[in-house]
Amino acid sequence: MKKFYLSILLPTMLAALTRRILGYVAAFAAQQPAVKAVCDLIESKLSELERTLSKDPFSHFTERLLTQDRIRDDAFVMFRNYIELFLKDKDSGRASAARQIMRIIRKYGYSLQRLSYIEQTDAINRMIDELKAPQNQQAVELLNGVAFLETLEAESLAFEDLHKERIDVESEISYPRIRAAFDSLQWTLRGLIMFLDGLSEAGFAPELPDIINNIEMELSGAMAQARALRTLKDKEEEENGGLEEPETPDEN
């Protein structure tokens, strides 16, 4: 199994990952008392982390993000559906403009509202940039679609601002109770994963390779998301000009 670093995850990401991994292991654990005992311990530590997070004053970000994401989704669908109305327009100029815009929409995802937060943000930003190119902007204007596009851009920017705010808040996991619950869970979960991986390599049970494969996919996805969030935050700080005095690294 490739190296993995649970410490780079945000607390909510670790909680979600743990839930999924426990789901993969549940049937096997039911037949193996030792594994079941570890899973029960992890469940207990996970519950403690979730209780701690639920008391956190910033937990309202999740609900706000879901709401703003739905608003952004609706803005995209309205823009897309509006442009589609012109595909069969009797006016050849409007029909041609609609086809031109729809090619760009399909390029970044006809159903991009179903993508993850980060993927959707990237797709919308690149799509809007391309639509603002002079030849494409003219096509949007011809169809009187500027207001729809501006609404999509505004709602997407509102989502980005909220998402960045949440990243800034959740990345500060120095709160004593959250930090303690986070660390306790991540080390116990790591121990379970390594134990199962060892059993799989030893050929202990035929179902273990599939379980390990699923766990590795979950880990890869979580690590990629965490690194993307870190890159997004670093990029924001770089764009701000790096005017703030850098903090002294924590030696502990």
Amino acid at 247: E
Nearest-CA neighbor of 21 among 182, 167, 176, 220? 220
The dihedral over CA atoms of 203, 207, 213, 215, expressed in degrees to the nearest 10, equals -110
Q: Answer with the residue of higher pLDDT: 162 or 152.
A: 152
| pLDDT given at position 149 | 96
Average pLDDT for 158-165: 84
Cα–Cα–Cα angle for 231, 11, 16, rounded to 5 degrees: 100
Residue 192 predicted with pLDDT over 90: yes
CB 118 within 8 A of CB 228: yes
Q: Across the chain, what does the average pLDDT equal?
A: 85
109: alpha, beta or left? (left if phi > 0; alpha if psi -120 to 50): left
Average pLDDT for 134-154: 96
| pLDDT given at position 250 | 38
| pLDDT given at position 172 | 53
Q: Answer with the residue of higher pLDDT: 248 or 82.
A: 82
Q: Please, which pLDDT band fits residue 117 given cuts at 50, 70 and 90?
A: confident
Kindly report the number of other CB atoms within 10 A of residue 65's CB atom.
Answer: 16
| pLDDT given at position 237 | 46
Q: What is the DSSP string of 167-199?
A: HHHHT-TTSHHHHHHHHHHHHHHHHHHHHHHHH
| pLDDT given at position 245 | 36
Cα–Cα–Cα angle for 169, 185, 18, rounded to 5 degrees: 85
Question: What tokens appear for 248 in the block?
Answer: 């002294």
Q: Please, which pLDDT band fits residue 246 given cuts at 50, 70 and 90?
A: very low
| pLDDT given at position 153 | 96
Measured CA to CA, the distance from residue 118 to residue 36 in angstroms comes to: 35
Q: Answer with the residue of higher pLDDT: 151 or 64.
A: 151
* Total residue count of the chain as it appears in this document: 252
Q: Answer with the residue of higher pLDDT: 252 or 19.
A: 19
- The percentage of residues in the chain with a pLDDT greater than 70, rounded to a whole number, is 83
Q: Which of 68-77, 115-124, 153-162 has the lowest mean pLDDT?
A: 115-124
Question: What tokens appear for 211 in the block?
Answer: 């379980």
Q: Does an H or E element contain 85, and which?
A: none
Measured CA to CA, the distance from residue 183 to residue 250 in angstroms comes to: 17
pLDDT digit string, tens, across residues 207-236: 999 999 999 999 998 888 888 776 655 554
| pLDDT given at position 123 | 92
Contacts of 167 (CB under 8 A, 6+ apart): 10, 229, 232, 233
Q: Which of 81-90, 189-198, 220-229, 240-249 has the lowest mean pLDDT?
A: 240-249
Nearest-CA neighbor of 185 among 2, 7, 1? 7
Residue 106 predicted with pLDDT over 60: yes
pLDDT digit string, tens, across residues 61-89: 666 777 888 899 999 999 999 999 999 99
Q: What is the pTM of this model?
A: 0.50
